[in-house]
Amino acid sequence: MASEERTQEILKGLRKALVEFDEDKVKELAQTALDEGIDPFIASMEGLAEGMIEVGDLYNRKEYFVPELLLCADALYAGLDILRPAIKASGRESEAKGSIILGVVEGDVHDIGKNLIKMMFDVAGWTVHDLGKDVPLERFVEEQLRTDSDIVGLSALMTTSMVSMPEIVKKLKEKNPKVRIMLGGAPITPEIVEKYGADGYAESAGTAVDEAMRLLKMLKKEEMKEGENKR
Ligand code: B12
C-alpha cells in the first residue's frame, strides 16, 4: 500500500496529466495507482474529477476552449476505463448516489456539454442513462418510467430548441410527480428553470453533481415523510 505522501504524489500527477490532456500519462498513472494499492474511487475522484474541475475553471477563464475540453475529456475517459473495473470490483459503486437520465433535447445536436456533465456523474458513482442528442420528448418519458430514475437532466444550447423543455417537464411530472428535473446549457438561467417548472440548474459541470445531490436529498426526505404518514 502506497504511503500517504506517495498517494498524494500520484493524485497530483493524475490531475496535472489530465489538465495537460496527456492521455498516455493519465493511463500510466491510473495503472500505477492500482499497482500501488490506491483506492480506485479516490484516484478517480481526487485525481481525474478534481483535474476536470481545474479544466472547467481554465475554460471559464477562457484559457481553454472546446478543443482542449475534448482532449481532456478523452484523457479522462482513458483513465476511467482503467479505474472503473477496479471501482466495480471494490463494490464502491454499490454506494451509487442516485440515478439520472441525461439527454440533449430534440432538434439540438450540441452534446459536448452534456458529455462533460455525464462524465462528472460517472466519476461521482451515479447510475447514468445517457440518451444522447436530438432526443424526442417521448424517449425521456419512456426511459424515466423504465428506469424509475431519481433525476432527469435536460440539455439545450439553442434558444430555438430550449423552448421544447416546458412540455417535456410537464409530461415527465404527469407520469411521475416524484421525478426531479434539472436543466442546463448556455441559454438556460435559474429564471428559465423556474418558468419551465423544473427543479434544478447548474451553470457548468463543476456544480452539476452538487445540485443533483441537493435534489436527491429533498426527494429522500419527502419519501421518508410519506413513509411516516402511512404508518
Ligand atoms: C461547438 C458548437 C457547435 C458544434 C457542436 C458539436 C457537438 N458535438 O456538440 C456544431 C458545429 C455541430 C454546431 C452546430 C450548430 N450550431 Co453551434 N455552437 C457550438 C459552440 C461554439 C460551443 C458549444 C459548446 O460545446 N460549448 C462548450 C460546452 C462545454 O459548454 P455548454 O454546452 O454550455 O455546457 C456546459 C453548461 O452549459 C452546462 N450544461 C450543459 N448541458 C447541461 C445539462 C444539465 C442537466 C446541466 C445541469 C448542465 C448542463 O454544463 C456544461 C459543462 O460545463 C456554441 C457557442 C457557445 N458559446 O455556446 C455554438 C451555438 C450553440 N451554435 C449555434 C447554432 C445556431 C448552430 C447551428 C444551427 C449552426 C448552423 N447554421 O448549422 C448548428 C445547429 C445544429 C443543431 N441542430 O443543433 C448558436 C445557437 C444560437 C441560438 N439560437 O441560441 C450558438 C450559440 C453560436 C452562436 N453564437 O450563434 N455548433
Tell which CATH classification among 3.40.640.10, 3.40.718.10, 3.40.50.1820, 3.40.50.280 matches the domain 96-231: 3.40.50.280
Q: What is the largest CA-CA distance in the chain?
A: 57
| Amino acid at site 152 | V
Beta strands, E only, 105-196: 127-130, 151-155, 180-184
Rounded Cα gap, residues 142 and 65, in angstroms: 35
> Which residue has better confidence, 28 or 118?
28
Q: How far is the CA of 176 from the centre of ligand 1 (A)?
A: 30
What is the pLDDT, as a whole number, of residue 22? 97
Cell matching residue 140:
425521456
159 CA: nearest ligand 1 atom: 84
The residue whose C-alpha atom lies closest to atom 68 belonging to ligand 1 is 158
Residue 56 φ then ψ, to 5°: -60, -40
pLDDT tens per residue across span 82-130: 988 887 777 655 455 799 999 999 999 998 889 888 878 887 788 999 9
Rounded Cα gap, residues 193 and 155, in angstroms: 12
The residue whose C-alpha atom lies closest to atom 3 belonging to ligand 1 is 110
The Cβ-side half-sphere exposure at 153, using a 13 Å CA radius, reads 37
Which of 61, 70, 110 to probe ligand 1 with, by most ligand atoms within 8 A of CB? 110
| Amino acid at site 103 | G
Q: How far is the CA of 56 from the centre of ligand 1 (A)?
A: 16
Superfamily of domain 1-95: Methionine synthase domain (1.10.1240.10)
Question: Rounded mean pLDDT of the chain?
Answer: 91
| Whether the predicted model's global pTM rises above the 0.95 cut | no
Q: How far is the CA of 49 from the centre of ligand 1 (A)?
A: 23
202 CA: nearest ligand 1 atom: 47
If you count DSSP H runs as helices and E runs as strands, how many of each does the chain have, helices first?
A: 11, 5
pLDDT tens per residue across span 165-224: 999 999 999 999 999 999 999 999 999 999 999 999 999 887 898 999 999 999 988 888
Domain boundaries, the chain: 1-95, 96-231
Inter-residue contact 89 to 62 (CB < 8 Å): no
149 burial class (0-12, 13-18, 19+ CB within 10 angstroms)? buried
